[in-house]
Amino acid sequence: MRRPTVVGNWKMNASFAQTTELLAGLSEGWSGVHKAEVAVCPPYPYLAKTAELLEQSNIVFGSQDVSQHESGAYTGQVSADMLLDLGCKYAIVGHSERREYQGESSELVAEKFEAAINKGLTPILCVGETQAERESELTFDVVGQQLRAVIDRCGLEGVAKGVVAYEPVWAIGTGLSATPEMAQDVHAYIREVLGPEGEQTAILYGGSVKPDTAAALFAQQDIDGALVGGASLKVEDFLAICRAAD
Ligand code: PEP
């Protein structure tokens, strides 16, 4: 049985004070025993405080990126070891915003994925097509190419150590969500590409997930949870999504 998983990606949002408030609200609201794993990915500078505030809770945390390098003269980068030192469980890699604004290629994303699994940090690999690619019926080609770059580098067994998030770029932060059926089609394809090794790999959906859309998405066979942006910045909305996965 794959464990339902909900991850909040806070991006470059929330001040230090708001982060503290969000973490307090979430740990209070998510106390007790749950089937679903809940994680948050705050900005780097707040990870140490996050570790402190989540110490007594059953919410885990991660980073929004990780360096492909182990250590060295790489100004501004943060290594997997450093993130593990802080207590991170996860690291998001290949988010479409980094692919677009930082020009990250699928090959670089694969290097980051490998750097994470080599150290025991769980990468959350984001894949997904743009609106134009969907309209040109290239969704499976694009998602397949993004996955294959990581498979070529880490093998199917390596990929199975991470989590995959299907995030159609046109649905991120736009309020447009893929329908459960559209998302399921791509999730089933991802599951097929991952092969038998990936049977237990969680495949999350991301793209404007809200409390009122979460349950129908999670009811799909290959949707194991969500990567949530905007709605993860509101305690009640994020908790409602987590409850729908639980
Ligand atoms: C994201 O950035 O990963 C995301 C899914 O954002 P949103 O939920 O705001 O669309």
**In 3D, which of 116, 203, 206 has the Cα closest to residue 167?**
206
**Pairwise CA distance, residues 125 & 109, whole Å:** 8
**Pairwise CA distance, residues 101 & 82, whole Å:** 24
The model's pLDDT over 134-187, given as tens digits with 9 standing for 90+, comes to 999 999 999 999 999 999 999 999 999 999 999 999 999 998 889 999 999 999
Counting ligand 1 atoms within 8 A of each CB, the residue from 40, 125, 167 with the most, and so the one to mutate, is 167
Q: Give the residue extent of every domain in the chain.
A: 5-245
Give the ligand 1 atom nearest the CA of 232: 8
Q: Ligand 1: residues whose CB is within 6 Å?
A: 9, 167, 172-173, 206-209, 227-231
Q: What is the CATH number of domain 5-245?
A: 3.20.20.70
Give the ligand 1 atom nearest the CA of 231: 8
Counting ligand 1 atoms within 8 A of each CB, the residue from 227, 232, 242 with the most, and so the one to mutate, is 227
Give the ligand 1 atom nearest the CA of 165: 3
pLDDT of residue 222: 97
- Judged against a pLDDT cut of 90, whether residue 215 lies above it is answered with yes
CA-nearest residue for atom 7, ligand 1, is 229
The model's pLDDT over 79-134, given as tens digits with 9 standing for 90+, comes to 999 999 999 999 999 999 999 999 999 999 999 999 999 999 999 999 999 999 99
The model's pLDDT over 20-71, given as tens digits with 9 standing for 90+, comes to 999 999 999 999 999 999 999 999 999 999 999 999 999 999 999 999 999 9
CA-nearest residue for atom 2, ligand 1, is 229
**In 3D, which of 210, 212, 200, 178 has the Cα closest to residue 2?**
200
**Pairwise CA distance, residues 58 & 175, whole Å:** 29
CA of 238 to the centre of ligand 1 (A): 12
Active site residues: 95, 167
**Pairwise CA distance, residues 42 & 184, whole Å:** 28
The model's pLDDT over 3-22, given as tens digits with 9 standing for 90+, comes to 999 999 999 999 999 999 99
CA of 9 to the centre of ligand 1 (A): 7
Mean pLDDT of 199-214: 97
% of the chain surpassing 70 pLDDT: 100
pLDDT of residue 177: 86
Please enumerate, as own/partner, the contacts of 185-193 that have beta carbons within 8 Å and a separation of 24 or more.
186/139, 186/140, 186/143, 187/220, 187/221, 187/222, 187/223, 188/221, 188/222, 189/140, 189/143, 189/144, 190/127, 190/143, 190/147, 190/164, 190/166, 190/222, 191/222, 193/144, 193/147, 193/148, 193/151
Give the ligand 1 atom nearest the CA of 172: 10
CA-nearest residue for atom 3, ligand 1, is 229
* The residue type at 166: Y
pLDDT of residue 158: 98
- Judged against a pLDDT cut of 90, whether residue 1 lies above it is answered with no
Identify any residues that bridge with 9 across adjacent strands, giving them in sequence order: 41
CA of 167 to the centre of ligand 1 (A): 8
| DSSP code string of 53-107 | HTTTSSEEEEES---SSSSSS-TT---HHHHHHHT--EEEES-HHHHHHS---HH
